[in-house]
Amino acid sequence: MSNELIQLRHWLHAYPELSGVETKTAEHVAAFIGKLHPDKIVTNIGGNGVLVLFDSNKPGKTILFRSELDALPIQEINKFAYRSVTDGISHKCGHDGHTTILCGLAEKLSAEKPLTGKVYLLFQPAEETGEGAKLVVEDSQFDIKPDYIFAFHNLPGYTKGTICCKEDLFSASVNSIYYKVKRKNCSMQLNQKWGESSIGN
CATH number at residue 115: 3.40.630.10
The separation between the first and the last C-alpha atoms of the chain, rounded to the nearest angstrom, is: 61
| Pairing assessment for the beta strands 62-68 and 118-124 based on DSSP bridges | parallel
Provide the residue range defining the domain that includes 29: 3-200
**DSSP letter at 15?**
S
Structure confidence at residue 157 (pLDDT) = 82
Higher pLDDT pick, 34 / 155: 34
Percent of the chain with pLDDT over 70: 87
Higher pLDDT pick, 173 / 58: 58
Claim: this prediction has a pTM higher than 0.75: yes
Q: What is the mean pLDDT of the chain?
A: 89
* CA–CA distance, 71 with 135 (Å, rounded to integer): 18
pLDDT grade for 189, boundaries at 50, 70 and 90: low
Total domains present in the chain: 1
